Structure 1
Amino acid sequence: MKTTVLKTKQRASTPIQFAVLALIAGASVAHAQTAATADSTKTSSAQTATAANNSEKIIEVLVTGTKRTTSLQRTPVAITALNSAALEDNHVQTLQDIVNLVPGFSATAQGDHGVMTMTMRGVGNDSAKTEYADPEVASFVDGIYSPRPEGATALLFDLEAIEILRGPQGTLWGRNATVGAVNMQTTKPVIGKSFGNAELGIGSYKRLGMRGAFNVPVSDTMALRFAFVNEQHDGYVDYQTMPTIPLSSQRAAFLASGGKLSDFQPINTALFVTGGKKYGAQNQTAARLSMLWKPTSTSKWDLSYEKFADRGAPHMNLMQTPRAGQKMWSALIDTAPNIHRDSDAIRSRFETALSDDVSLAYIAGYAKFSGSQTFDGDAGVVVPTSFTTGGSHRQHNTNSSNYTNYSHELEVQSTGKKKVDWLLGLYYAAEDNNIRFDLPIMNGTQQGTVGWQGSFIQPKETVASKAIFGQATWNVSEELHLTAGARYTKDDRANIGGRGYGWANYPATPETVAQIPVNQNVNPWEPNSGFGSPGLNDGKYSGSKLTGLARISYDLDKNNMFYTSISTGYKSGGLQDGGRTYAPETLTNHEFGTKHTLLDGAVKISNAIFYENFKDYQFSAPVTNPDGSRTLATTSAEGAKIAGFETEIAAKLSKDDRIQLSLAYTPKAKLGKLLAGSNDYVIPTCEADKTVSNCVDVTGVTMAHTPKIQMQIQYQHTFHLSQGTLTPRVSVHYETESNLSVFSDYFGAPDKQKAYSRTDLGLRYEGDKFYMDFFVRNATNANVKTSAQNGNTGGIWVAQYLPPRTIGMNAGFNF
């Protein structure tokens, strides 16, 4: 079969034709390539698109999931690959948008920190949104680990491809790739060519989007590329008006609570937000300047600087059963939403040939992030009866959050196909983080007395991770390949000067302490601040682990292969409040997979059967201690056992008709023994475990965000017009019922997402150098929960949801 390297986003003469190529190739077909491969297989965009249009075959593509350029259908790993045109066709802007395109993958938005968390094959960590918890699914940009979901990780723009690798990837991909890795590859400059593209988009909720890219040749050995994007739309959540409560009723409620008539004051309705930026609003901007320099015929240097700014708003918790007369997508809000985040990232990759048989690559990255955020934690579920009774004011304030991380990786590997293909590497990464997070909880309204409040101040937290790794494949014959790999990782963490301050129960004598919500101008360590002695969070952690991979793959012929593997994953232990440590988690994954190319290339199928056995699975949650203090605690379940089947099928029914199916079937995803506590839920007093005040035995529950069946089917047909093509698309996503947390079996329906289907529609016109793309997302306006809780809202159930129905249009041109 002819192999073609898709060159997305270059679009030198007729860049629009790449979208046509992507439609034919399928949403799961993409590429990732090295410069050497690109140089040896160059095909003009016009030639590639013409060949694809006249073909009834699905174009073979190349991926780099094994850190070598290999054919997707001959790579013995469960990989979903998405090229830039597939991302555009599906209007992918965030990781959450990729969910529908990848079997066994979920991503949820966590409002109070504005962070996306990922689950793959039943495993994830919804608390992996601050420095206190790490994810099990690792994110990489150009092969560089991204511990914070910012920049290209948060706002996917000018990407050449995304590869999603399922199963432990720790041997080659490094830390926290316990159950998988997502590698985003930015589009690189092209030497010797001038071209560009620009796009404008509009849509519902006053959506306005702009993006573009320009390629500039500098010399015969150097080129630059500048890319930018801005995406903004209004929020989805309308503001409710504070109901009018007669003064006599307010006064009666206040006196009934023990208040003095002389202290009474009416509710200040101006404290409730009725205008301005809404929850769920987007306003994100990013720009990237990239350089490609080839100083010699056997070496090259890719270097980029990226700037990202977020001025949007977090997602909001909404009442699952709205109050009478109120819309679901609305809330009584007394904390205005705000996100103010900035990040800068530098990424570098230098590679050179040491000889005809050996190459060297040095990959380095640096990123700096700073941000702040406000979030309405009470969700306005209870209307206050007076200024200090009835409801509550709960505000989550990330006053400052700063992260600095950098990494270095050195790889030496064999080149070309040898009897033994090998790779050796060294890795070092470090983080230096600090944060101040305030949690004021006032009785009634902001005018009321303090119910409880806390301030968490962590001036310095460091992480250092070192690793040595290697992998080799013995090509026993043309058909049989044996692979073995190992990675030794050592992690060190330190919390220095961290303090957790809690309210010292002063409301009984409020005249002695100012009854004001804690904020960044309040020093909780000062006398008469109302706060008690702080909890000390100083501590150190050190741990190490050897993980590995053993795999057998066999090519039955050029169109059919199978593989079986055993691999282990590892996520470091660490520190929690009080300076206590928690244990690392480990995973052993057994997998059997097959890949097939049928009907002379018209059908491609990838299958994987897996069984995962976890040990010491980490569970993180905010808890209340028996002494009344509150902390974020990480405990370890005895483990988890998960088994399932995944398949991806792409088929050309004709040269103009394409259908794609992805399916994940997970009949078993059971958590081991765990007594779980969480302030996010109203749960009973803990009798079995005296380290937390409230807990539930969740042993044996089905893992969160793991429906038994998850399926996506997409169909499109291309009509050939005299001046271009017209392609309608329909995509339907279906999931069976799924849990939203480890407590779902205890609470039932409010903490579950029932079975649902979600439909997206598209219509794309492509001319010579101009295109228009109309789309409807969530056409049936389904309400799909991604998280739920009742602990911060007085037992009333709230949830976060995927966006409602949105309609839009993008139009672009290439030059």
Structure 2
Amino acid sequence: MNVHVPQSGKRLLLSPISMAILALVAGTNVVHAEEAQVATAAAAPAAEQAAPAEAGKITEVFVTATKRTTSLQKTPVAVTALNSAALDDNHVQTIQDVVNLVPGFSATGQGDHGVITMTLRGIGNDSAKTEYADPEVASFVDGIYSPRPEGATALLFDLEAIEVLRGPQGTLWGRNSTVGAVNMQTVKPEIGSNAGNFEVGYGNYTRIGARGAFNIPLSNTMAMRVSVVHEQHDGYVDYQAPVIPSLAAQQAAAAPGIADWNAKHPNNPVTFKPINENSYIRNGQKYNAQDQSAVRLSFLWQPSADLKWNISYEHYVDRGTPNMNLLQQQRPGQEFWSALIDTAPNVNRDSNSVRSRVDYQINNDVALAYIAGYSRFNGSSTFDQDGGANPATSFTTVGAPGNAGYQANNTVWSKYKNYSHELEIMSTGKRDVDWLLGLYYANEDNGIRFDIPIMNGTEIGTVSWQGSFIQPKETVDSKAAFGQATWNVNDQWHLTGGFRYTSDKRENIGGTGNGWSNYDVPQVPVSPSMNPLVPGGNNGFTTYSFNSGSYSDSKLTGLARVTYDIDKNNMVFASVSTGYKSGGLQDGGRPYGSETLTNYEIGSKSTFLGGKVRMNNSAYYSKFKGFQFSAPITNPDGTRGLATNNAEGATVWGLETEIAAKITPEDRVQLTAAYTNAKLKHLIGGSNDYNLPACPIVGISTCLDVTGNTMPHSPKFSAQLQYQHSFALADGTLIPRISTHYETASWLSVFNLGEPDRQKAYNRTDLGLRYDANSKWYFDAFVRNVEDGKIKTSAMNANGPWQAQYLPPRTFGINVGRSF
């Protein structure tokens, strides 16, 4: 696996993790898994490396999609498997880097929380942060559900493989995998091995990266592995210089507002103040910067051939910055990648995770597995929500009347603790009936304080509205029993049935929504030093929402599948499966209902020309009931909160194909393509992120009937084409490669509000050139987003002008590594 070393400008590898990286880099190096290497997502006890592929043939890949290690081409599931070589070749560092490699997959970043949300087959939830709602696409690391996208989920490093399972995985995988699951397999220690690797890299935006891993044999039954990574680059978004109106112009603009305020609030009159130029941020760390580090210690104890215990500890640190909302049409004279910023960016996140798996071969026929995980996360952040959309005309006014000029979204603190236990017992060996039974329990304990100060004009203006949302304790208890069996009728016919019964309980204990209601106290933005729960004095807050409540839900989900092996190189399958995502509680303690899905699918997997061509296809039709739509809203009384409503449902159908071919022993081509049709059924949706008309429904301020609209992030057609050629040189191999992604236009919200609310059709190309020396070192140069396209991932017009978040601009760099 590779080692990339990022940087965020001036602070070069100063954290303890960063220093550990330097120490490791001094005596380690990076293994670049060659194309002929197997992607064995080793999880089941039977997982073994495949033999090297013959020249001219595509390597056989093994996956754990069925909780057993099976050949990809023999697994009747729509799954994309990316081995370590594929991850390295495509410079995969985050989930957003994976999406182009998987048909029907997309991922979007959310600026204020720094959370990446995933959409698969046209279904996702942009508000699926743990304290709000659960995702439709579940994330797993070594088979353990990861409710927070941190650590290995956020900064992909030292991975053996990534498997993306498409379609509901409600039987074997369970938790919130309504439309799919992403399972990341870390590299495990090896007994008796002293292998290691490292990589260092440099790129534009002062990108510096370092990765390393080292396997240490401890005895003839024990081994450990140390993996480290640090990635950093400067922010993409430059700071704009404010254009300050003349003092006379400021006084003229402020006069009507001051007079109106003083008439309404005689006990708290305001006087004119000149705009403070120092309120605008001009230097320091920029938005869209990366500064992330992680270390993983993995241990293997294998006292006998029948017993194996893998356990790992992972520490992750994020000191980067959020992604900024940029004006889609920049103001004259300003660079596109820039913004007028009055809230300095900050991210401070730490997570610690322990993952454990014990495998025991009871006898020749039965094996036992116990999988457990624990994770703890703490974080805070500050974010400029308004993005400078409305420049101030005075300390308390902006050029677009009716819009506030200053809004920050501040996570004062957040904490998440979760743990899970899973017990599996399964048959092994070749038999007439393959079976697996399991029990599962998971617990989450979450808390957050999230402040939103909104001021008229500037930070020193009067309060427009501000709130503090405090959820001190939000818990989830999830229990499940599951089983799956396959009857191998004969060598050709296989019948599979499975079930999962899930019981969920959610509680919100002491949660409150607090809004500014006293305008006869000093008008200052809410800050961490304020306690909104203590009335009186200079505190203008009143608690308007009490969120305590309890919600319980349960569901039986299932799978029925028939598989027919035409011959050893071709198979077809058909399945009916169901998925489920629990309902929960929203602001005010009001419940929302569960979400269910029924999916009908047919597929084929084929290998042609003696192993030179591999083709996997699937066609599916999905019916949703109770699709959960979450969004921030304003209530008719002016208070705000996050609301989750159940749409009547949604209908999604599509086609997917994956083709890999070795045209010659030196030439490889790979194509993935997807056609998706995703339509909402009845839903009246509201959101503060968009200017919507007044709502005819009592209790909702603004809304829009989105019935029949196309789901966001679901282009009708998307395709990825990759090609690489290997040149044999005297002392090594030179491999140029090109990868190009095309997709048709797609909406960015359920509201389908015209061109600003969608990403037009685009093509994006990545280039790479790698030299592998026979002495085990390599050099890799790359250019990503060659076209320097401006590709939107989200949009909003709550501040008047349309804004959006974007994928990174053109980036380029080099990596140098060595294995030993």
What interval of TM-score do these two structures reach, taking the shorter chain for normalisation?
over 0.9
The equivalent of 2:682 in structure 1 is 673
Structure 2, unpaired ranges of 5+: 5-27, 263-268, 399-403
The equivalent of 1:658 in structure 2 is 668
Check whether the contact 1:217–1:224 (CA below 8 A) recurs between aligned residues.
Answer: yes
CA distance in 2, matches of 1:123, 1:268: 45
Q: Give the counterpart of 1:516 among 504, 510, 524.
A: 524
* Aligned amino acid, residue 434 of structure 2: D
C-alpha deviation, 1:396, in angstroms: 0.3
The equivalent of 1:93 in structure 2 is 93
Closer/same/farther in 2, CA of residues 197 and 626 from structure 1, 3 Å limit: same
SS class of match (2:88): helix
C-alpha deviation, 1:262, in angstroms: 7.9
* Aligned amino acid, residue 455 of structure 2: M
* 2:388 is the counterpart of 1:375: no
CA distance in 1, matches of 2:406, 2:29: 53
The equivalent of 1:767 in structure 2 is 773
TM-score, normalisation: structure 1: 0.94
SS class of match (2:250): helix
CA distance in 2, matches of 1:770, 1:438: 50
The equivalent of 1:754 in structure 2 is 760
Q: Give the counterpart of 2:421 among 395, 408, 417.
A: 408
CA distance in 1, matches of 2:411, 2:341: 18
* Aligned amino acid, residue 783 of structure 1: K
* Aligned amino acid, residue 652 of structure 1: K
C-alpha deviation, 1:258, in angstroms: 3.1
The equivalent of 1:353 in structure 2 is 361
* Aligned amino acid, residue 604 of structure 2: T
Query: CA deviation digits over 1:638-661, x for unaligned, max 9?
Result: 000001000000000000000000
CA-based RMSD of the aligned residues comes to 1.7
Trace 1:146-161 onto structure 2 (pairs within 5 A): 146-161=146-161
* Aligned amino acid, residue 809 of structure 1: I
* 2:640 is the counterpart of 1:635: no
C-alpha deviation, 1:17, in angstroms: 7.9
Q: Give the counterpart of 1:611 among 615, 621, 627.
A: 621
Number of residue-to-residue matches in the alignment: 781
Check whether the contact 1:195–1:814 (CA below 8 A) recurs between aligned residues.
Answer: yes
SS class of match (2:394): coil
Trace 1:655-734 onto structure 2 (pairs within 5 A): 655-666=665-676, 668-687=677-696, 689-734=697-742
CA distance in 1, matches of 2:508, 2:139: 24
* Aligned amino acid, residue 704 of structure 1: P
CA distance in 2, matches of 1:98, 1:811: 22
CA distance in 1, matches of 2:767, 2:644: 42
CA distance in 1, matches of 2:662, 2:756: 42
C-alpha deviation, 1:265, in angstroms: 1.5
Trace 1:155-554 onto structure 2 (pairs within 5 A): 155-259=155-259, 263-390=271-398, 392-504=405-517, 506-507=518-519, 512-525=520-533, 526-528=535-537, 529-554=539-564
Closer/same/farther in 2, CA of residues 658 and 111 from structure 1, 3 Å limit: same
The equivalent of 2:802 in structure 1 is 797
The equivalent of 2:11 in structure 1 is none
Query: CA deviation digits over 1:495-532, x for unaligned, max 9?
Result: 0001100121x44xxxx301110011112232242122
The equivalent of 1:648 in structure 2 is 658
C-alpha deviation, 1:19, in angstroms: 3.6
* Aligned amino acid, residue 803 of structure 1: P
Check whether the contact 2:114–2:323 (CA below 8 A) recurs between aligned residues.
Answer: yes
* Aligned amino acid, residue 758 of structure 2: K
CA distance in 2, matches of 1:270, 1:17: 49
The equivalent of 1:3 in structure 2 is none
Check whether the contact 2:40–2:47 (CA below 8 A) recurs between aligned residues.
Answer: no
SS class of match (1:164): strand
C-alpha deviation, 1:354, in angstroms: 1.2
Check whether the contact 2:29–2:817 (CA below 8 A) recurs between aligned residues.
Answer: no
Check whether the contact 1:8–1:85 (CA below 8 A) recurs between aligned residues.
Answer: no
C-alpha deviation, 1:16, in angstroms: 7.6
* Aligned amino acid, residue 368 of structure 2: L
C-alpha deviation, 1:8, in angstroms: 14
Check whether the contact 1:16–1:771 (CA below 8 A) recurs between aligned residues.
Answer: no
CA distance in 2, matches of 1:262, 1:119: 48
C-alpha deviation, 1:30, in angstroms: 3.0
CA distance in 1, matches of 2:522, 2:424: 59
SS class of match (2:626): strand
C-alpha deviation, 1:596, in angstroms: 0.4
C-alpha deviation, 1:193, in angstroms: 1.2
* 2:601 is the counterpart of 1:595: no
Check whether the contact 1:31–1:81 (CA below 8 A) recurs between aligned residues.
Answer: no
Check whether the contact 2:31–2:818 (CA below 8 A) recurs between aligned residues.
Answer: no
CA distance in 2, matches of 1:17, 1:470: 38
* Aligned amino acid, residue 398 of structure 1: T
* 2:790 is the counterpart of 1:783: yes
Check whether the contact 2:612–2:661 (CA below 8 A) recurs between aligned residues.
Answer: yes
CA distance in 1, matches of 2:74, 2:493: 12
CA distance in 1, matches of 2:76, 2:194: 38
Closer/same/farther in 2, CA of residues 432 and 569 from structure 1, 3 Å limit: same
Query: CA deviation digits over 1:156-197, x for unaligned, max 9?
Result: 000000000000001000110000000000000010111100
Q: Give the counterpart of 2:812 among 794, 802, 807.
A: 807
CA distance in 1, matches of 2:3, 2:42: 11
Query: CA deviation digits over 1:715-748, x for unaligned, max 9?
Result: 110100000000000111000010101011xx21
TM-score, normalisation: structure 2: 0.93
SS class of match (2:541): coil
* Aligned amino acid, residue 240 of structure 2: Q
Check whether the contact 2:222–2:301 (CA below 8 A) recurs between aligned residues.
Answer: yes
Closer/same/farther in 2, CA of residues 254 and 172 from structure 1, 3 Å limit: same
Query: CA deviation digits over 1:31-86, x for unaligned, max 9?
Result: 323575456x576xxxx3xx65xx11101121110011111011000010001111
SS class of match (2:57): coil
Query: CA deviation digits over 1:200-250, x for unaligned, max 9?
Result: 010010000001000000000110000000000000000001113211111
CA distance in 2, matches of 1:732, 1:215: 36
CA distance in 2, matches of 1:239, 1:74: 54
The equivalent of 1:63 in structure 2 is 63
Check whether the contact 1:251–1:264 (CA below 8 A) recurs between aligned residues.
Answer: yes
CA distance in 2, matches of 1:674, 1:132: 19
Trace 1:731-750 onto structure 2 (pairs within 5 A): 731-744=739-752, 747-750=753-756
CA distance in 2, matches of 1:533, 1:405: 29
CA distance in 2, matches of 1:380, 1:16: 43
Closer/same/farther in 2, CA of residues 62 and 76 from structure 1, 3 Å limit: same
Check whether the contact 1:458–1:497 (CA below 8 A) recurs between aligned residues.
Answer: yes
C-alpha deviation, 1:626, in angstroms: 1.7
SS class of match (1:348): strand
Closer/same/farther in 2, CA of residues 785 and 217 from structure 1, 3 Å limit: same
The equivalent of 1:75 in structure 2 is 75
Q: Give the counterpart of 1:555 among 565, 569, 583.
A: 565
Query: CA deviation digits over 1:90-124, x for unaligned, max 9?
Result: 00000000011000000000001000000000100
* Aligned amino acid, residue 810 of structure 1: N
C-alpha deviation, 1:711, in angstroms: 0.4
SS class of match (1:700): coil
Closer/same/farther in 2, CA of residues 363 and 263 from structure 1, 3 Å limit: same
CA distance in 2, matches of 1:294, 1:262: 73
Check whether the contact 1:8–1:83 (CA below 8 A) recurs between aligned residues.
Answer: no
